Each structure stands twice: as structure tokens, then as C-alpha cells.
Chains A and B, each alone.
Chain A
Amino acid sequence: MNAKRADKIATAIIDVVAGIIVLILASLLGYILFRGVPQISWHFLTSPAKAFEKGGGIAYQLFNSFYLLFLSMLISVPIALGAGIYLSEYARKNWITEVVRTSIEILSSLPSVVVGLFGFLIFVLQWHLGFSILSGALALTVFNLPLLTRNVEDALHQVAFTQREAGLALGLSRWETVTRVVIPEALPGIISGMVLGAGRVFGEAAALIYTAGQSAPALDFTNWNPMSISSPLSPFRPAETLAVHIWKINSEGIQPDAAAVSAGASAVLIIVVLLFNFGARYLGKLLHKKMTAA
């Protein structure tokens, strides 16, 4: 067999494999959207879930998902930024740094159900936070932090070393070089990584079942006192998220229209994650343009 023929065969095989992957993903996505989109209505998005009757919505779950996401990003983004900047710009090459880096890698491959049980033992029981948004946000931070840190470090690494030299040679301090030269150039990558991380957190269920709980108590949207338990902003109330809701309906739902609610909720979840993904790309490009005057 000559090289040209071998090359053709190899190319064909790779094409077929790629085609199969695309087909599987497209059919999954298509199936979820096809089944779920017809269920989505304004009523569905804005009314609370019902436990025994048909006609329930996902209003609280949707709100809980976004609020939980917001809180967990509020905790994890600053830590990830600090850790990523340290690892990329300040850490010396020695065994301590290597241990930190390896730990982050191991942590990032932890199954989310393990993170959930860890959160249950530490945040829910040990710290007496109970099933609450705060416990959930902390568990999601444990889940998300390694990936975000990695993302920040990678994005900073993408910036050429010569850029740092340029800053230093002009008499800028190391800190100024990092904050004024390196981070602006890495910002598009950092932001898109964060938004993608947000999408991952948004769809997470296993880590939340044992931490944020599986109940969505009625919320009073006129009560904005975060200390009151019926306030949507209270971080101490249990909060079932969209992903957990889908899991619960499918495992123990007794509503007559459980299948329809599940399909609709799944479609909403997928659409939000898709929006995050496209948003990340768009935002990344926009920022790059703005930052670099390209």
C-alpha cells in the first residue's frame, strides 16, 4: 500500500469518526429541544412547581439556579483569579508549586457527587449551614475552582513572555506589568473560560442534591431582606435548582404531567447553557477587539 492510499484511508476513517460524534451530539441536543421547546411558555417559566397536580412551572427553580450561580461565582472568581495569577506569574518552579498544581488537577477530576457528599459533611453538617444556597454555592466553588484556576493560569500563559519583558524594560513594576499588560491581553480568554464555567455550574445537579437541597419553599418576591427566610435573596434557605428539579421529577415525580415538565425544564437548561457558550465566544471576541484596538 503506498503512502497516498494510506493517507486517503486514514483521512476517511477520521472523517467517519468525527461524523459519528457530531451525529450523536446533534441527535441528543435535537431530541431534548424537540421534546422540550413546545412545553416552554411564559406561564411555565413564571409559575411555581406543583407537587401533585398538572400545570406546574419552574419559576423558583430557575431563579434558584441563577442565584446560586451568582453566589458561587462571587466566591470562586476572586479566588481563581488570585490563584491563577500566582501560579502563572509569581510561583517559582519548585516542588511546592508542583504539589499545588497537581492538587488542582486532581481536584478538577473529582466526580461531582463526591464533591456533593463532601459539601454535605462539611458545610451542611459540620458548619451547620443546613441545606441552603450557601452550602450549595460553597460546594459548587469546590467543584468549579480548580477548573477556573486552571483556565486563568492557561489564559495568562498564552501571553508571550516578551510582553512581560517589554513592560519591565519600560520601568513598570512586576505588579503593573501583570495588571496592565498581561491581564488585559489575557482577559478575553479569562472571561470566556469563566462564562463556560458558569454554564457547567448551571447544569450541575449531583453536587447540589446534598447541599442546596431538593425543596423549593415558596418565595416572596416583594421581600428583599436577605436575612428573611422567605426572601429570594436569603442564602440560608434550601433551594432546588433547575438541574436538581429535573433529576427529582424523573426519579420520584408524581405529577400527572411530570414528563412534560421534565422535558420543558431540560430544554430551558440546555438553552441557557447554549446561550452561555455563544455568549462566551461573542464576549471574548468583543473584549479582544476593545483591548487590542485590532
Chain B
Amino acid sequence: MAEPKQFIRELPATAELALSTEDLRVFYGSKEAVHGVTLPFERYKITALIGPSGSGKSTFLRSLNRMNDTIDGSSVTGKIMYRGLDINAKGIDVYEMRRHIGMVFQRPNPFAKSIYDNITFALRRFGEKDKTVLDEAVETSLKQAALWDEVKDKLHKSAQALSGGQQQRLCIARAIAMHPDVLLMDEPASALDPISTAAVEDTMLQLKDKYTIIIVTHNMQQAARISDYTAFFYSGDCVEFDETRRIFTRPKMQATDDYVAGHFG
């Protein structure tokens, strides 16, 4: 009997999905970087995507809010279901969709504007003019991102003068000020020192009450600490998807076992 190539745990029927993919494939030119991934993402949970470099996890994540559209020669096939809608279909308003599915990148990328403007910029673009509303959005989102106390006295100073860890939390605040449903995070702590990393992780655990988070990480302790579900990617395939505690204690697939034990990657 041939060994199965992958194990994807079915979520219980009661689980509410925030997002799911069906046979999602990503191509760069003629090269297929992600091979037909089908995954569910439960609402108000953190799902971690782990795997060695080049396994396709970041590419997969970036296709969820169609950021791969911006890369010349890339194409994505398959379905991305969000509220009963295939957002990978033609005719979807990508810009509108991205307001619901926010993203935080590997390297902090605050705008070359003040801290205040970084957060209010997009809100104002989408028509919010009331200053009290904007002020409140700044305070709430900075508090949620655990940055408020550090920056409340210099809101009108340049965001790029902040430390790397503070910049990354500002980027998180900027993303959640839009009140997205889903927050995609692409190795958000990989460029940060341990203290900033801990702060960002705390932030994520607090955000879980209101947001569905999908995070790519190279750091397996991080995945184990913060996530509810984990998907292990290898060579463009999702090899295993399960509850995090099972992935790290009793993985079903040999490759997963080798990876979480630190044998490769």
C-alpha cells in the first residue's frame, strides 16, 4: 500500500471558517511554486505556516490577498473562498478585498510619514474625515499593537525614526486600524530582536479575540507558542495540516516529524 502523500485534518463541522483555499496553485512563469494546496482557516484562530526556505509557504500566504498579482509573470489558479466568494476569480475588486484581508510583511515598512499619518492615511483615503474618529482609531490600534505607551508623546514624529520592533508593531497597528477580518503575517518577527519578538507575539495572542491570523514563521518555538493550527509546507506542497499540539508531538507524516525535530531546514 502506497504511503499517503499528505495529511490534512478536517475541521469539525461546527468550526466557522474565515478563509479557505481549494487546489490553490501559484506559477512564476511556467514554474509551479505551490502545487494545489487545499486548506481551511478557522475564524479567530492563529494558523501557522511552517516549512524550510523555498517550500512555498510565503508564496502561498501572499496569494491569499493576491499580492502576487503585483509580480510580473505570476499567476494563481484554484479558489480562495472568503464569505462564500471566490476572491481569486476575475472581476473581484482586489483593492476592496485587501481592506478585509490585511497583511504585515517580513520587513517593517512604515510609510515615510508621521506615526499618526501612517495609521490614518488609508482611513482618510477611504473617506473618514472626523478627527475624533481618527484620533480614536490611532489610540485603539496602537494599544492593540502594544505600542501606545511608547509612542503616545511623539505621534507626529517620523515613523521611520522608530526602532525595528516598534516599526513592526506600528505596521500591525496600521493593518488592524482598517478592521480587517483576516490578518496575514509574513514572518513578522524575523527581523526583530528577542524582546521585540516577544512583544509582537503578545500582540498576536491579544488580537486573536477579534481577528483571524495566518502567520508564516521560520521559528518553530514561535509556531508552537502562539498558533492553534499548523500547516507544514515542503517543496510547494502542504504535507500536513493539524492542530499545533499534534504537529509538534505526534505528526502523521515522516517529513513533518523530521522538520519539527530539527533534522533539516
Binding site for B on A (CB under 8 A): 92-93, 160, 162-173, 176, 180-181, 184-185, 291-294
Contacts and interface: CB of A to CB of B under 8 A. Distances in A.
Interface string B101-121: 011010101111110010001
Given A165-B109, A169-B102, A169-B175, A93 B125 contact: no
Between B96, B105, B112, B158, the greatest number of chain A beta carbons within 10 A of the residue's beta carbon is seen for B112
Nearest to A176: B125
Nearest to A170: B122
A187 B174 CA distance: 24
A168 B94 CA distance: 9
Interface string B159-173: 111000000000100
A169 B65 contact: yes
28 contacts: A93-B72, A162-B105, A162-B107, A162-B109, A165-B103, A166-B109, A166-B171, A166-B174, A168-B95, A168-B98, A169-B67, A169-B102, A169-B105, A169-B175, A170-B102, A170-B174, A170-B175, A170-B178, A171-B96, A171-B98, A171-B122, A172-B95, A292-B112, A292-B113, A293-B117, A293-B157, A294-B160, A294-B161
Contacts of A176: 125
B126 interface: yes
Contacts of A292: 112-113, 158, 160
A172 B72 CA distance: 19
B208 interface: no
Given A169-B67, A172-B125, 13 more contacts: A164-B70, A168-B67, A168-B70, A169-B103, A170-B178, A171-B97, A171-B178, A185-B111, A291-B113, A293-B114, A293-B117, A293-B158, A293-B159
Interface of B: 65, 67, 70, 72, 95-99, 102-103, 105, 107, 109-114, 117, 121-122, 125-126, 156-161, 171, 174-175, 178
Given A164-B70, A170-B102, A180-B121, A293 B95 contact: no
A184 B118 CA distance: 13
A289 to B, nearest CB: 9
Contacts of A168: 67, 70, 95, 98
Contacts of A166: 105, 109-111, 171, 174
A167 B98 CA distance: 10
A171 B102 CA distance: 8
Contacts of B95: 168, 171-173
A162 B158 CA distance: 17
Contact of A170 (B98, B156, B161): B98
Contacts of B157: 293
